[in-house]
Amino acid sequence: MVIDEIEKAWTPTSTKGQAYGLADGLLPLLERSSAVAWKCPYYQVGFDMSWISWVLTSNSLRTLPAPFLSRLNILRLVGPGKSDLISFAEREGARRGIPDAALGAICEVIDQIAEAHELNLRHVSRMLTRAEVMASSPQLH
């Protein structure tokens, strides 16, 4: 089971004023001993949830509660470096048919500002999309 960006999960409040956070709800499911005899709070039926593998992604751990974090094996992944971003831009730009001049300009920008600014794949994808739109727009004389 994959839960993407767990840190953005909000805490809903019931009509009786009780708060139920996703992290709190997952606590018994993350430990094998409690997951093996988990009881659905809505249907009141027992399930063996111990066979589920949980993959949770997060951009930040700051907002996640300590009891929740203590039940996880945390892997910290390093973002792509400047050379990775340039390689991605070249591959993706070629796939999209972006002209060489525009692609060269994008790679030069990445090379010049990647260390000063925290560029990521999303930024590079936006640059490529803008170049693609400009390349397909009619030229005005």
Could you report the per-residue pLDDT of 39-95, keeping only the tens digit for each? Answer: 988 899 999 999 999 999 998 899 888 988 999 999 998 889 999 999 999 999 999
Shared-domain flag, residues 7 and 65: yes
Residue whose C-alpha is closest to residue 35's, from 71, 10, 74, 73 = 71
Measured from the Cβ of residue 47, the count of other Cβ atoms closer than 10 Å reads 15
Shared-domain flag, residues 65 and 104: no
Amino acid found at 107: C
pTM of the model: 0.66
| Count: domains in the chain | 2
The parent domain of residue 11 ranges over: 2-69
141, part of any domain: no
* Residue 102: burial class (beta carbons within 10 Å; 0-12, 13-18, 19+): middle
Average pLDDT over residues 17-46: 87
10, part of any domain: yes
Which of 69, 90, 114 terminates a domain? The answer is 69
99, part of any domain: yes
Sorted by sequence, the CB contacts under 8 Å of residue 36 that are 6+ apart come out as 48, 49, 50
Compute the mean pLDDT over every residue in the chain, rounded to the nearest whole number: 90
Amino acid found at 127: M
Shared-domain flag, residues 65 and 86: no
